Chain A
Amino acid sequence: DGGITQSPKYLFRKEGQNVTLSCEQNLNHDAMYWYRQDPGQGLRLIYYSQIVNDFQKGDIAEGYSVSREKKESFPLTVTSAQKNPTAFYLCASTYGGNTEAFFGQGTRLTVV
């Protein structure tokens, strides 16, 4: 079945650690996105990539980094510079321009 797979579903991070969230899609979609969701805040764009080896900052990129070495994969690293990383992280992808986005099931990151 085609879709977007995020892993892990739950992730715990200690203060000062970097962690990487995985996002893989087999939909042959060109564009991929990372969003952060907090209660009452809606979805906020962290980074997006429209083609391999290229990505752009979204609205809240500070403290995050990404790579896009393969079309299918768009991992997100939450660095120690992100002061409030506890949130629900969603990965999405679209095919071409002006089309609907498909989402993964999310990763819930908690700082302990």
Chain B
Amino acid sequence: QKEVEQDPGPLSVPEGAIVSLNCTYSNSAFQYFMWYRQYSRKGPELLMYTYSSGNKEDGRFTAQVDKSSKYISLFIRDSQPSDSATYLCAMVHGNNRLAFGKGNQVVVIP
């Protein structure tokens, strides 16, 4: 079983819809959880960062962590065409190594 599972299937939504992305993980030592956004042919940029169970909001973005279920989610409200990108979940544990999911390609259709 991979440390981090993220269904890479492309996701197409109409503009204004809520985008829901998630990752599961197997290693309970993961303490820090991140979501990155990557536009085509660019490096990933940090979108959200959290270290505790619960919700964290930043504008239209909400990151959710459930450590008991080893499950994290990212929600994008009022999605815009500019949100079209690949979204990667990432996690860190004590030895400072990052583990990434495979990424979800999101397309927001105007």
Contacts and interface: CB of A to CB of B under 8 A. Distances in A.
Whether chain B is bound by chain A comes out as yes
Nearest to B89: A42
Given A98-B31, A101-B90, A33 B98 contact: yes
Chain B at the A interface: SS class: loop
Interface string A1-32: 00010100000000000000000000000010
B41 A40 contact: no
Given A43-B88, A99-B32, A48 B97 contact: yes
B6 interface: yes
B45 A103 contact: yes
B68 interface: no
Contacts of B46: 100-102
Interface size class of B (residues with CB under 8 A): 20 to 34
B100 A43 contact: yes
Please name the 10 residue pairs, one residue from A and one from B, whose CB atoms are nearest each other, closest first.
Answer: A42-B102, A103-B43, A43-B100, A105-B43, A97-B96, A103-B44, A100-B49, A106-B43, A100-B46, A42-B100
